[in-house]
Amino acid sequence: MMMPTLTGKTALVTGASRGMGRASALALAAAGAQVLVHYGRGANEAGGVVAEIRKAGGRADAIATDLAAADGASKLARQARSIVGDRLDILVANAGVSKTATIEETTVEDFDKLFAVNVRAPFFLVQQLLPIMSKGSSVVFLSSLAAHAVVGTAPAYAATKGAVDTLVKHFASLLFCQMIGALILQIAGRLDQLQTGPFSLLRILLGQLRALPLTFVEDSCRGADRSKAKDPHSRPKAKNRENAK
């Protein structure tokens, strides 16, 4: 089966120095995309990902940003724009931190950092990158089973993943009329088993990206501004008040 090509496309993968982020960056590069390899720490590992992509004939650059910082998302967006210019086709929001701790052991600092990196950063990264994303662009969030089931002892971490799952539903709705897709990608299995075969990360990720634009119906957005949906708590207009007398 022929794989979809991403030649001429640009992609940013956060947390791409290791794990699923690294695998996503390599998969996108293998399909022809120019990839920005983001990392928070692990400069050597990120450099290794870039070197592997370039050795295979691809285009890649490493960019470092601390997404726990309040300005981390905006800083990363500026770095990305300085490299790819005014067009980003794919954002894979993979960066995240975890913390195994009971309710009693979790500190305010732990809780705040988990939500800063796992929820706040991707939200504002999408916000800051929207001006350079257009029709056919895709936003992919890598999620976790912890959002739906009790896995180990990590209630605060699980809460961040539940928040992301909810966030993506709203992104998918709000970005619908801009023809930008947003989805949650949950992948089960050992990373080394996802490198090749019919269920490889490459096939899963690219299959989702290819399918996204096909789910949109442009006509449904004509004549309607989905961003101006009625607020149930808003005050009625003057003419409505007059009619109600």
Active site residues: 143-144, 157, 161
The closest alpha carbon to 117, from 91, 145, 156, belongs to 156
d(CA 135, CA 55): 31
Q: Give every strand in the sheet of 34-39, ordered side by side.
A: 60-64, 34-39, 10-13, 90-93, 138-142, 181-185
CB 97 within 8 A of CB 72: no
DSSP calls for 205-240: HHHHHHHGGGG--GGGGTT--GGGPPPTTSPPPHHH
Tell me how crowded residue 162 is: count the other CB atoms within 10 A of its CB.
16
d(CA 118, CA 7): 30
CB 194 within 8 A of CB 23: yes
